[in-house]
Chains A and B, each alone.
Chain A
Amino acid sequence: EAGVAQSPRYKIIEKRQSVAFWCNPISGHATLYWYQQILGQGPKLLIQFQNNGVVDDSQLPKDRFSAERLKGVDSTLKIQPAKLEDSAVYLCASSLHSSRALNTQYFGPGTRLTVL
């Protein structure tokens, strides 16, 4: 079974530029998550999708971050414009169900973003 795929693996941009990350979840997984992991920290949830609907985006900085999952399969996370503090690893995860208590989330390898 293929895991969660993410691209690109690395991205370096200058502040105020735009960047987009792509995620393809495990086949059949209805729930997709985007996390931000700053160096020395644990992952922080940015947004959770259930199929093509948003379940939780309370921690997404909506003035500069946006995400979509139009067909309920793959997803794109965009930052426009980027700030220095956006430098982090962006992790995508997927799970079969949306129940958080006993859910197993499978993480992709992440995209390491450096903003100069």
Chain B
Amino acid sequence: TQLLEQSPQFLSIQEGENLTVYCNSSSVFSSLQWYRQEPGEGPVLLVTVVTGGEVKKLKRLTFQFGDARKDSSLHITAAQPGDTGLYLCAGTSGNTPLVFGKGTRLSVIA
């Protein structure tokens, strides 16, 4: 069974700070996705990474896929209150269903 471990589980920071959240597994994934979920809503896809070592940037968010395709990180620069939410990573290998981690709950305080 493929498992994705996310850390930290909870993170509370001040506006303007930088942060990094992690997604780790002992399994290799062919692709990995990051989602953000706000209370009362479904997850919204932020990015998909497919190549080992790949780095993608989305405004203040930087996503990296590990060289061995077993781990990923999300770095947020100068966090804003609008970044508050549950960040989920999800991976698939070949034609397997998406497996989600438990998420990192981020709170950015103004």
Contact = CB atoms under 8 A, between A and B. Distances in A.
Contact count band on B: 20 to 34
13 contacts: A42-B90, A43-B88, A45-B97, A56-B97, A91-B42, A100-B94, A102-B31, A102-B48, A105-B45, A105-B98, A109-B40, A109-B42, A110-B42
Contacts of A109: 40-42
A93 B42 contact: yes
B68 interface: no
Contacts of A110: 40-42
A43 B100 contact: yes
Which among B42, B50, B97, B103 has the greatest number of chain A C-beta atoms within 10 A?
Answer: B42
Interface in B21-76: 30-31, 40-45, 48, 50
Contacts of A48: 97
Contacts of B45: 104-106
Nearest to B29: A101
B88 A42 contact: yes
Given A42-B88, A100-B92, A101-B30, A4 B98 contact: no
A101 B100 contact: no
B100 A107 contact: no
B42 A44 contact: no
A105 B37 CA distance: 13
Contact of B50 (A43, A101, A106): A101
Given A91-B42, A104-B45, A42 B103 contact: yes
